[in-house]
């Protein structure tokens, strides 16, 4: 392996599936490290072949006859690796057919930067191919890539360590976690993100968009970046862009299926609450900051915390009332409800935001977390266990860590 590689958390979830027959699809946005991860796995399969549909010759052969192409390249192989599989839509049906009819067909690994939900026959691989999401580096992965011990590994409360980690977190908050940006000079980042934006629009989507969509999608992306974490509606976006709601929904779906954004909706089980708006978060803070330069620290931090929850496979909602009360994230899992509020600024004591307090009094969640700049704290309020955690700690938590931090007493 002669390329730079940063250890990824997803590897421990992939490992049990490497020896099984099911194929593996690694999906995520451009430049998050999918190809690099495929090549690392490739080292474990001596009798294997790596192909990319970015290669014009390979692409042409596969497009003409996807099944015949797979049979040809798999001869004598124990595994085949296909990068950017989404460029040849027929490949999914070919994989299904070969897995169903040829028990000796080798294990297949694929990567893609467009959801197979946008590809004809994409759902045909269900049961034959296991899907694993890959995002830009989490804060924990970022620290590991830079050779820095994480806060969870440092048991002492040495000021220099805390200051250093806060500085690294601020750097991550601004620049994001794309692997190519980890050691890049900040002055060069606009070039990277502009190339990323252009590749997304001109390579990934050009053949999938109508003329009007091509013009409006870049405008919509900027609008969303400027309103990260703020409740918005289809009507307001439609009025701003002069588009019908159906067109807005279609463009938002394209951005979601391309792994640029995630839509978070208000929690629906409470009657009489705020229902007609939603929030949008970007899956990388650096990309969002590039698109909306000068955005406020509060929206950056909230976007980053959402990214941490998403990387841990939490499904988030938010709570918002007509009177203006709001809690940033509500997570319901295994019969447990956790309310999370993100606050900018330093704290010196266990201060509970008013909206979060109102939510706790009304709905009595099992747990609540106040993410802040610097303060650790813990307090029982009625039946709710409340924790105060610095953002640079919360952003490092794995799903199991999170369960440990927020375990009710």
Q: What is the pLDDT of residues 366-395, one digit of tens each?
A: 999 999 998 999 999 999 999 999 999 999
Is 6 inside any structural domain? no
User: Where a domain ends, among 114, 133, 152?
Assistant: 133
Is 2 inside any structural domain? no
pLDDT level of residue 404 (50, 70, 90 thresholds): low
Is 249 inside any structural domain? yes
Give the per-residue pLDDT at 124. 56
The residue segments making up the domain with residue 46 are 11-133
Mean pLDDT of the chain, nearest integer: 88
Task: Give the integer Cα–Cα distance in Å for 2 and 307.
Answer: 30
User: Where a domain ends, among 94, 114, 133?
Assistant: 133
User: Where a domain ends, among 81, 104, 133?
Assistant: 133
Give the per-residue pLDDT at 115. 67
Q: In terms of domains, do 113 and 170 share one? A: no
Q: In terms of domains, do 77 and 191 share one? A: no
Is 323 inside any structural domain? yes
Average pLDDT over every residue of 291-310 = 94
Task: Give the integer Cα–Cα distance in Å for 34 and 28.
Answer: 7
Average pLDDT over every residue of 114-137 = 72
Q: In terms of domains, do 236 and 98 share one? A: no
Is 42 inside any structural domain? yes
Q: In terms of domains, do 111 and 174 share one? A: no
Task: Give the integer Cα–Cα distance in Å for 142 and 65.
Answer: 41
Q: Please choose, from the candidates 199, 179, 181, the residue with its C-alpha nearest in 3D space to the C-alpha of residue 189.
A: 181
Residues 88, 89, 95: CA angle, nearest 5 degrees: 90
Give the per-residue pLDDT at 208. 66
Reading phi first (left if > 0) and then psi (alpha if -120 to 50, else beta), residue 281 is in beta
Please state, as a whole number, how many other Cβ atoms lie within 10 Å of the Cβ of residue 357.
17
Q: 151 — phi, psi (to 5°)? A: -60, -30
Least confident of 117-121, 193-197, 252-256, 358-362: 117-121
Please state, as a whole number, how many other Cβ atoms lie within 10 Å of the Cβ of residue 363.
16
Per residue in 188-234, pLDDT tens?
Answer: 899 999 999 998 887 777 666 665 677 889 999 999 999 999 999 99
Q: In terms of domains, do 235 and 293 share one? A: yes
Is 293 inside any structural domain? yes
Is 390 inside any structural domain? yes
Query: The whole model's pTM is what?
Result: 0.91
Backbone CA torsion sign across 289, 293, 294, 295: negative
Give the per-residue pLDDT at 408. 38
Query: Structurally, how many domains does the chain consist of?
Result: 2
Q: In terms of domains, do 192 and 323 share one? A: yes
Please state, as a whole number, how many other Cβ atoms lie within 10 Å of the Cβ of residue 11.
13
CATH of the domain at 73: 3.40.50.300
Q: In terms of domains, do 59 and 196 share one? A: no
Least confident of 151-165, 196-210, 311-325: 151-165
Q: In terms of domains, do 279 and 391 share one? A: yes
Task: Answer whether residue 119 shows pLDDT above 60.
Answer: no
Per residue in 229-275, pLDDT tens?
Answer: 999 999 999 999 999 999 999 999 989 988 999 999 998 776 556 67
Q: In terms of domains, do 89 and 146 share one? A: no
Is 1 inside any structural domain? no
Per residue in 61-112, pLDDT tens?
Answer: 999 999 999 999 999 999 999 999 988 988 989 999 999 999 999 999 999 8
Please state, as a whole number, how many other Cβ atoms lie within 10 Å of the Cβ of residue 388.
21
Per residue in 1-43, pLDDT tens?
Answer: 445 789 999 999 999 999 999 999 999 999 999 999 999 999 9
Q: In terms of domains, do 163 and 120 share one? A: no
Q: In terms of domains, do 247 and 290 share one? A: yes
Scan for tokens 């502009």, then name that residue: 194
Residues 43, 34, 394: CA angle, nearest 5 degrees: 115
Q: In terms of domains, do 77 and 172 share one? A: no
């Amino acid at each position: 392996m002669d390329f730079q590689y940063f250890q990824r958390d997803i590897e421990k979830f992939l490992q049990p599936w490497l020896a099984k027959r099911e194929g593996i699809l690694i999906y995520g946005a451009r430049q998050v490290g999918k190809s690099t991860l495929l090549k690392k796995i490739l080292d474990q399969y001596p009798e294997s072949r790596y192909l990319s549909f970015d290669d014009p010759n390979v692409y042409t052969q596969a497009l003409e006859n996807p099944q015949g192409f797979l049979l040809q390249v798999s001869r004598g192989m124990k595994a085949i690796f296909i990068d950017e599989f989404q460029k040849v839509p027929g490949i999914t049906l070919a994989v299904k057919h070969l897995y169903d009819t040829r028990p000796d067909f080798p294990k297949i690994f694929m990567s893609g930067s467009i959801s197979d939900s946008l590809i004809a026959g994409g759902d045909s691989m269900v049961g034959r191919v296991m899907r694993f999401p890959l995002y830009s580096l989490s804060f924990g992965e970022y620290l590991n890539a830079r050779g820095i011990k994480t806060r969870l590994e440092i048991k002492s409360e040495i000021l220099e360590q805390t200051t250093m980690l806060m500085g690294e977190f601020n750097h991550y908050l601004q620049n994001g976690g794309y692997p190519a940006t980890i050691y890049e000079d900040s002055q060069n980042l606009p070039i990277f993100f502009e190339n990323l934006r252009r590749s997304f629009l001109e390579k990934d989507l050009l053949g999938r968009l109508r003329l009007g969509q091509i013009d409006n999608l870049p405008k919509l992306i900027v609008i969303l970046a400027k309103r990260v974490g703020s409740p918005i509606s289809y009507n307001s976006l439609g009025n701003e862009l002069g588009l019908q709601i159906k067109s807005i929904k279609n463009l938002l779906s394209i951005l979601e299926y391309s792994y640029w954004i995630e839509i978070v909706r208000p929690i629906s089980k409470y009657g009489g609450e705020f229902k007609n708006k939603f929030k949008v978060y970007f899956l990388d803070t650096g990309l969002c900051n590039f698109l909306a330069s000068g955005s406020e620290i509060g929206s950056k931090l909230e976007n980053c915390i959402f990214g941490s929850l998403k990387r841990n496979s939490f499904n988030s909602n938010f709570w918002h009332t007509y009177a203006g009360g709001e809690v940033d994230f509500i997570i319901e899992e295994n019969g447990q409800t956790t309310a999370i509020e993100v606050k900018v600024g330093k704290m010196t004591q266990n201060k509970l935001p008013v909206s979060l307090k109102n939510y706790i009094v009304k709905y009595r969640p099992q747990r609540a977390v106040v993410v802040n700049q610097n303060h650790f704290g813990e307090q029982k309020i009625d039946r709710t266990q409340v924790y105060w955690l610095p953002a640079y700690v919360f952003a490092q938590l794995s799903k199991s860590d999170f369960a440990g931090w927020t375990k009710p007493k």
